[in-house]
Amino acid sequence: MSTVVELQSVHKRFGNNHVLRGVSFAVRRGEVVAIIGKSGSGKSTALRCINRLEQIDEGQISVCSHAVHADGLDLRTLRRDVGIVFQSYNLFPHLTVLQNITLGPTAVKRMPAAQANTLAQDVLTRVGLSDKAQAYPEQLSGGQQQRVAIARSLAMQPQLMLFDEVTSALDPELTGEVLKVMEQMAAEGMTMILVTHEMGFARRVADQVIFMHQGQVWEQGGPDILDQPATAELRQFVGTGL
């Protein structure tokens, strides 16, 4: 399998706060990678650097053959290849679900409206919301809005999907709805990196688990590291996180 994402000795500082301290890892095509760790460990910052929402200070990042660290990076092309979904849904409240989803393909990819509408219906079916195309975000539950946000990213037909704690604002039932969609995407072969506190999901779906601590990749391996941690820090995290 080819490598889709590679971080090499990545450093990121916010003023005097050294958030990422030499982070290195790679993600192969079709892999699901779960990044776990305490708040402030650098998980979300690493994810944001992959999509160039934050620019790194040192190191190199390659994503879908884009040199993300380079000054001449074409952000528009990068973000066609990389979808990202956040904890907050960021849907446009004045647009219908269908309009929220078709906006990207028509505005960014210059897709004809009829083709974008067909694509939108397809991704809505994939997330189990084919009957909500004409609804407005305020008419949907939190779980449904998050699934629309996922559908909106899928409509751009990305090579890689990033998820930043997408279920942390949802109650358990709605969390289950969203995780089911993500599990289905994994089964279909989508390359995914997710920052998550859902240890059960990581055990069940992730090919690789990365435990971050103090801005570093502290421990890394298959889901079995959650049951047999090699470090005291992961042992404590798993013990308190379940």
pLDDT tens across 164-176, in order?
Answer: 998 888 888 888 9
Query: Once rounded to an integer, what is the mean pLDDT over residues 78-88?
Result: 90
Q: Is residue 4 part of a domain?
A: no
Assess if residue 137 is contained within a domain.
yes
- For 8-19, what is the mean pLDDT? 96
* pLDDT cut 90: percent of the chain above it: 83
18 falls within a domain = no
pLDDT band with cut points at 50, 70 and 90 for residue 97: very high
14 domain-assigned:
no
Give the pLDDT confidence of 53-68 residue by residue, as tens digits.
999 999 999 999 999 9
Residue 148: which domain range? 30-51+75-241
124-149 in b/e form (b: 16+ CB < 10 A) is bebbebeebbeebbeebebbbbbbbb
Return the pLDDT at 234: 95
Q: Which of 185, 98, 196 is nearest to 140 (CA)?
A: 98
| 63: in domain | no
User: 184-229: per-residue pLDDT in tens?
Assistant: 999 999 999 999 999 999 999 999 999 999 999 999 999 999 999 9
| pLDDT tier at 240, thresholds 50, 70, 90 | low
On whether residue 22 sits in a domain, the answer given is no
Nearest-angstrom CA–CA distance, 138 and 207: 36
Give the H or E element holding residue 44: helix 43-50
Domain count for the chain: 1
Residue 36, in any domain of the structure: yes
CATH number at residue 124: 3.40.50.300
The rounded distance, in Å, linking the Cα atoms of 224 and 161 is 23
